[in-house]
Amino acid sequence: MSAVIGQTLGTFQIVGKLGQGGMGEVYRARDTRLNRDVALKVLPPAFATDPERLTRFTREAQVLAALNHTNIASIYGMEGSALVMELVQGEDLSDIIARGPMPLTEILPIAKQIGDALEAAHEQGIVHRDMKPGNVKVRADGTVKVLDFGLAKALGLEVTGDGDPMNSPTLAVGATRIGMILGTAAYMAPEQARGKTVDRRADIWAFGVILFEMLTGHRAFEGDDVSITLANVLKDDPDWRRLPSDLPPSISRLLRRCLEKDPRRRLSAIADARLELDEQEAPPAIAPQPAASRRRPFAAWPAAALVAATLLGTAGYVFWPSRSGSASTVSSRLSILPPANEHLYPDSAAVAISPDGTMVAFVVGAVSGAVSGSDSQIWVRPLESVLPRRLEDTEGGQLPFWSADSRRIGFFSHGKLKTIAASGGRAETLADTPGARGGTWNAENVIVFAPDAQGPLYKVSATGGKPEQVTTIDPARKEAAHRFPAFLPDGRHFLYSSLPGKDGKFEIFAGSLDDPSRTDLGALEATPVFAEPGWLMYSRQGVLAALPFDPRALKITGDPVMLDDEPSTVFDPINSFTAAHSVSTSATGSIAYYSAPSINTTATWHDVNGGASSVLKVPPGHYETISISPDGTRAIMSRSTSPSESSLWAVDLLRGGASPLSSGPGRNDVAIWAPDGERVVWAADRDGPQNLFVKNVSDGAPERLLYANDTLFKGPVDWSRDGRWILVSQLDAETSQNIWLLDSSGTTPPTLLIGGRGTDLSGSLSPDGRWIAFTTNDSGRLELYVQAFPTAGRRIQISEQGALGSWWSRDGRQLTFLDDDRNALWRVDVQPGETFAASVPKKLMALPADTIFVDAMPDRQRFVVLTPELSGNGSLTVVQNWHAPARR
């Protein structure tokens, strides 16, 4: 379509032309209906004659229109093939930069507002993809507006450029799948330049390039044309010598973290960049050095051990010095690989370094096996040894922690708190722990532990005895759980987190063995651990942070220092270690954490006859669950960015592709479809406890609260075929996980349907509404049972080797279920009607050993299986002298 000045387009009168770029012509227009000026971005002519592309663009534009933020130029709607946008008056940031380097006092407010805009978009799952100074407007009052959010993806448009890297082509997101490039060359992340699919880290790279340009007045990557500029992005570093000599070290460090060529090492969340900028008004805390007598340099290890580690393919280590050449300021690193043919449990809560810094205990076993506790085990690696060794009698072991003298290890296995000598032997059982969430051990042989996912902390003597409650749940705070205790140096006080959290943070307290009082230390993203000589260490948006702390006064004394380390954690929807420690510390200046090679997920189609067939096309990310619609055309997938943040995405199963569904912060988990296929219900913890929200998937209306109470964890598991009932699995303080029956209107309180001391999960109602299939571990292992509905009767056991979830066939004559190791699907023939009978289970099909989640198509012949997309096995990282100035 060609717009002419003076003509009208719908209710908009064209006033003048504002500009032209790869995404179309832009005009100033008068909205004659609302009496305001707007910007009309007229789409390229190819769109006017391509209904499919226009429909796709309109769908993407609806997603972008949901962005409502002070620093983001708003999208008002569509008029024909033109996009109606907020008219932003002001100067392009590119024009401001062209005048030369900007002072830091001018840069900070602009950079902070750009960061705010990116953070708001990333929280909605929207990536800009074309960040550059030309897409940033600075109004006369100092307000920053970021333009063209997500339009590169929405347009899917390949155009030609004029050879200027500042105005080089913005190409189709679809084209990137076949190796083409998306973005503006001078600001592209290396993965963009290589034609790979991108995520929010591409925006973080561009943010770093813009910040560099504001500071220096020069582009970070120069070039006479697009090809040379792209080559420089891929192979060169910015000329760091151009940076001002008086630039604060934290800003220099921030730039380097934004401009890491490997996206896995790049700053993972723009919120951390914004927080770093916010903290420029306060001087950064500097870490004091530990006494020389307390260091144990890795360089002193025998040379033969280094050679052996190089030659061995498993359980070896890689050694390299820090950027400093001074021995007094060296941070040394050790990478511990998994044993041969084994998998590290992918969570930093499964790693513990001994207090004397000489050994690391860790858990071997995939996430799926660890759920049932059947194949995980504790291993120990002496740091001066090449090989780790498995501790016998630790089957099902999780969450290891050390005694103060580094001689014994505490862990949790099969619902018990146990200890074992680090040298091996038989494990000793100390207490029942049906849903353990961490432990800690002081020099007086007192262990403080969280026995369950809900409730207070307890203490017990490591030599045996009756556990005693040591913290008290405060109903006035709506507390439900205390988790992951960690002793402070005096051995009398301990840190712990209080759940539920809010906005991705948890209240942190210092408790005491001597009295019931406690000290509120504020809210953090994870439970911290103490590190000598005076720091609290925790993960902040995926990056390790050190917070200055006085352990005697129980007081935080400064602002957090961001480190170069990025501990990894994988949230498992069945076995959640929410608020877990991100790192383990020793008294010698060494730390240990888990490093994952990747957290992306692959969704693969499997069928009962031919096994794996094809991959479901969805944007890259770490997906945890999938729920397929009753007609098999759509699905809802939960996508996690951290243990405390996840969102729901609507997926087109026929054509591929996904778009955000949920809009709230925090965790949004496990959507369940209504039988009409138009609504879904899910659990979200945006208000603290997980509550139930419902949304119509076919319109743009936001979700609404369906049901809320103060219970910490609850989630829907099924919706009855008549639409009347929603089954809810709820974590109850006295009786673990139970299944409740909720009226789908949400107007009346739920009633208990299946309860007891065990864990009851995954209820599934038969098509005729007479029977419910569910899993419970009353026998000591999760097994599938069937009983009458709604009036309970005799339980009939279906599975024989463990089960997690089940699906009824449409006629109710077959029941398919997933085993508790997530290694296979099984099927039984059943007799529906007034009575119930089932055949012996038969194995239907094998699943990948690392399966995360499964859901079935309506015909129960095809399944979508989620598996991790890993580029390796992951490793454990040990850092000695972590607070050396060279790492600042």
- Mind telling me the catalytic residues? 130
Contact 188, 181 (CB under 8 A): yes
DSSP per position, 14-33: EEEEEEEETTEEEEEEEETT
Strand partners, 796: 786
Task: Show the DSSP H helices in 487-529 as ranges.
Answer: none
Residues 6+ away with beta carbon under 8 Å from 186: 132, 165, 166, 168, 209, 219, 220, 221, 223, 229
Which sign does the torsion angle of CA 386, 392, 397, 401 carry?
Answer: negative
- Read off φ and ψ for residue 589, nearest 5 degrees: 90, 10
Q: Residue holding tokens 């509550």? A: 691
Q: Is 848 exposed, middle or buried (0-12, 13-18, 19+ CB in 10 A)?
A: middle
H or E segment to which residue 119 belongs: helix 104-123
Structure token digits, residue 625? 């669950």
With 0-12 / 13-18 / 19 or more C-beta atoms within 10 angstroms meaning exposed / middle / buried, residue 640 is buried
Cα dihedral 367, 666, 521, 577 in deg (nearest 10): -10
Tokens in use for 326? 């001074």
- Rounded Cα distance between 728 and 726, Å, is 6
Report how many helices (DSSP H) and strands (DSSP E) the chain contains, helices first.
Answer: 13, 60
Q: Is 673 left (phi over 0), alpha (psi -120 to 50) or beta?
A: beta
Beta bridge partners of 124: none
CA–CA dist 626, 644 (Å, integer): 18
CB of 23 closer than 8 Å to CB of 170: yes
Which H or E element spans position 93? helix 93-98
List the one residue out of 863, 851, 855 whose CA is nearest residue 637.
855
Task: Give the tokens for residue 205.
Answer: 């790279």
Q: Let me know how long the chain is.
A: 888
Q: Angle formed by the axes of helices 104-123 and 270-278, to 10°?
A: 150
Burial 709-737 (b: 16+ CB within 10 A, else e): eebbbbbbbbbbbeeebbbbbbbbeebbb
Print burial letters for 520-559: b (CB count within 10 Å at least 16), e (below 16). Answer: ebeebbbbbbbbbbbbbbbbbbbbbbbbbbebeebebebb
Quickly tell me which residue has 């054509």 as its tokens.
655
User: Which DSSP symbol is given to 852?
Assistant: -
Whether the CB-CB separation of 499 and 712 falls below 8 Å is answered with: yes
788, β-bridge pairs: 771
Determine the 3-state secondary structure of 166 from DSSP: helix
Residue showing tokens 């009978």? 837
Residue 601 phi/psi, 5° resolution?
A: -125, 145
Around Cβ 330, how many Cβ atoms within 10 Å?
A: 20
Residue written as tokens 């004397």?
Answer: 356
The CB density around residue 190, as the number of other CB atoms within 10 Å, is 19
Cis peptide before 400 (omega within 30 of 0): no
Q: Which two tokens stand for residue 768?
A: 């005729």
